[in-house]
């Protein structure tokens, strides 16, 4: 392709030689009655005496060569454009037939090359849109499957307990109240699942509004620790607060951010019950406030760490109701933190598991 310019150059040289030869032949016909009685030397002498110097052939050959060069280059360019246009049309037909992984070859042939590049960009964007649509469809199907599973379990329990009551299949009032209590607890669980699902959907669709104000995380975490004190005592866990600064200020929606730390502490209690301590630490560095929620229970497998913030993901293989929850708590926490411009991450070793929240620090009045 790089030597293609030699083709019109070759034909330009050939054309120039042919035109000059044609001049000689025409000159012989015009001047002499018999072409074969005249030699080339006598003709050159005649031209020298009557027309000019012998180098007139060079002077004549230059414009002839330039004209020939322009003609053959233009012709070659037109032929290449026509062939490339046919090639583009053939490739577009292939793409239109459904082969969206096919690309149109891009060649530097005027606007056709730009058009081929634009077609390829369009196909890439189309592939991206189709992939997003497939992911959305898969997400919807997974959501329906998970919600159906998680709603069916408590609903089945409620129906069973109420069926026993409706059929009078209880020995005394104590057993009746026991069935009623179980049915109530299952209805509460189902209500919490629906509430979590609704909140997660609003966060994903950017429908949840946040109202930021300056918040001291130290005060929030100490207040929240009192809320969980009884629950931690029942689990045999000792809370240790290690907040190195009395003021760790961020701009945030207090209610939403509190939900984040409530989810993290609840998880730490559920999965760290075989450890003795639950640590909440906090510090600031380089304008970033970092809060760690650390438990010393069973570690999270390394293969599970990249997925624990996905909706409905549970580390335990069996979807146990005693620890599984709705499977949306960490997903909701991640959405809220990112909505505030922060980050949340998890690390786990055989010694401890830590969830780390980082947010930008604010100073002074905001």
Which residue segments constitute the domains of the chain, with CATH numbers given? 6-99 (no CATH), 129-204 (1.10.287.130), 213-360 (3.30.565.10)
The 10s digit of each residue's pLDDT in 28-76 is 555 554 544 555 566 555 555 555 455 555 556 666 667 766 776 777 7
Which residues are bridge partners to 345 per DSSP? 356
Q: Is the pTM of this model over 0.85?
A: no
Provide the 3-class DSSP secondary structure of residue 128: helix
Listing DSSP states for 265-308 in one string gives HHHHHHH-TTSSEEEEEEEEETTEEEEEEEE-SSPPPTTTGGGT
Question: How far is the C-alpha of 60 from the C-alpha of 328, rounded, in Å?
Answer: 87
Phi, psi of 25 (to 5 degrees): -65, -45
- Please name which of 249, 250, 241, 223 lies closest in space to residue 281, comparing C-alpha atoms: 241
The 10s digit of each residue's pLDDT in 246-262 is 889 999 988 889 889 98
264 CB-near residues (< 8 Å, 6+ apart): 293, 333, 355, 357
The 10s digit of each residue's pLDDT in 131-169 is 888 877 776 676 677 677 667 777 888 888 888 888 888
| 96 token code pair | 């239109």
Edge-first strand order for the sheet with 238-243 is: 238-243, 277-285, 288-295, 353-360, 343-348
Percent of residues, the chain, with pLDDT higher than 90: 12
């Amino acid at each position: 392709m790089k030597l293609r310019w030699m083709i019109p150059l070759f034909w330009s040289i050939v054309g120039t030689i042919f035109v000059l030869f044609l001049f000689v032949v025409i000159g012989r016909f015009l001047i002499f009655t018999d072409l074969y009685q005249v030699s080339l030397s006598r003709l050159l002498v005649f031209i020298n005496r009557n027309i000019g110097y012998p180098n007139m052939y060079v002077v004549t050959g230059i414009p002839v060569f330039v004209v020939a060069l322009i003609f053959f280059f233009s012709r070659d360019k037109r032929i290449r454009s026509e062939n490339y246009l046919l090639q583009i049309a053939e490739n577009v037909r292939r793409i239109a037939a459904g082969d969206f992984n096919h690309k149109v070859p891009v060649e530097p042939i005027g606007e056709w090359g730009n058009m081929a590049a634009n077609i390829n960009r369009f196909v890439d964007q189309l592939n991206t849109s189709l992939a997003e649509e497939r992911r959305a469809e898969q997400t919807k199907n997974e959501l329906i499957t998970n919600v159906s599973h998680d709603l069916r379990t408590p609903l089945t329990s409620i129906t069973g307990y109420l069926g026993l009551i409706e059929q009078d299949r209880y020995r005394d009032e104590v057993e009746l109240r026991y069935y009623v209590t179980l049915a109530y607890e299952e209805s509460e669980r189902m209500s919490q699942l629906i509430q979590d699902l609704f909140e997660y959907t609003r966060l994903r669709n950017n429908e949840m509004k946040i109202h930021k104000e300056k918040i001291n995380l130290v005060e929030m975490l100490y207040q929240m620790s009192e809320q969980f004190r009884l629950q931690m005592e029942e689990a045999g866990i000792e809370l240790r607060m290690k907040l190195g600064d009395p003021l760790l200020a961020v701009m945030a929606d207090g209610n939403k951010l509190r939900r984040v730390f409530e989810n993290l502490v609840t998880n730490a209690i559920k999965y760290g019950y075989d450890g003795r301590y639950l640590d909440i630490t906090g510090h600031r560095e380089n304008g970033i406030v970092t809060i760690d929620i650390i438990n010393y229970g069973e570690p999270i497998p390394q293969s599970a760490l990249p997925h624990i913030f996905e909706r409905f993901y549970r580390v335990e293989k069996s979807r146990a109701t005693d620890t599984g929850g709705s499977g949306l708590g960490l997903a909701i926490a991640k959405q809220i933190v990112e909505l505030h411009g922060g980050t949340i991450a998890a690390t786990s070793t055989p010694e401890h598991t830590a969830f780390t929240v980082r947010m930008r620090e604010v100073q002074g009045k905001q």
